[in-house]
């Protein structure tokens, strides 16, 4: 099987039903996605709708302390319009009982809005 599909399946299986994904900062994407379905549908669903077929973020450094793991990662993506979207991320995962309970995302917000556009108000209103 495709390694990316396998990694995605492991991520989805490890995400607690009541997990939170916090997009930090002061821009249109900044908000807390609460619950596994909101993370997968509202956040990841919108990102996938903006990117060409394959979406990929590659982790290259992990720092663990207690129930938290900080992950440095680099995007390797192209928008549907052909614009490169290779953001740099720092994702801080908080684990509880072997499940992901919270993710805090830090990235280049200017690049996000430049390549992917502002986060849609209709999805933001659901928060």
Choose between 39 and 1: higher pLDDT. Answer: 39
The mean pLDDT of 103-115, rounded to a whole number, is 97
Q: Are 112 and 24 spatial neighbours (Cβ–Cβ below 8 Å)?
A: no
3-110: CATH topology is Nuclear Transport Factor 2; Chain: A, (3.10.450)
Q: Is it the case that residue 126 has pLDDT exceeding 60?
A: no
In the chain, where the domains are located? 3-110
Collect all residues with Cβ–Cβ distance below 8 Å to 28 and sequence separation of at least 6.
113, 118, 119, 124
97 φψ region: left (φ > 0), alpha (ψ -120 to 50), beta (else): left
Q: What is the pLDDT of residues 51-63, one digit of tens each?
A: 997 788 999 999 9
Report field, pTM of the whole predicted structure over 0.85: yes
Q: What is the pLDDT of residues 74-101, one digit of tens each?
A: 999 999 999 999 999 999 999 999 999 9
Q: Is it the case that residue 127 has pLDDT exceeding 60?
A: no
């Amino acid at each position: 099987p495709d390694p990316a599909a396998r990694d995605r399946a492991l991520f989805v299986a490890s995400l607690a039903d009541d997990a939170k994904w916090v997009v930090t900062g002061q821009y249109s994407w900044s908000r807390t996605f609460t619950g596994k379905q909101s993370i997968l549908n509202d956040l990841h669903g919108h990102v996938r709708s903006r990117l060409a077929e394959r979406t990929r973020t590659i982790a290259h450094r992990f720092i663990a302390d207690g129930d938290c793991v900080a992950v440095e990662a680099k995007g390797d993506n192209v928008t549907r319009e052909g614009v490169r979207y290779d953001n740099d991320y720092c994702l801080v995962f908080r684990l509880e009982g072997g499940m992901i309970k919270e993710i805090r995302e830090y990235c280049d917000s200017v690049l996000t809005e430049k390549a992917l556009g502002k986060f849609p108000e209709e999805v933001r209103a659901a928060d």
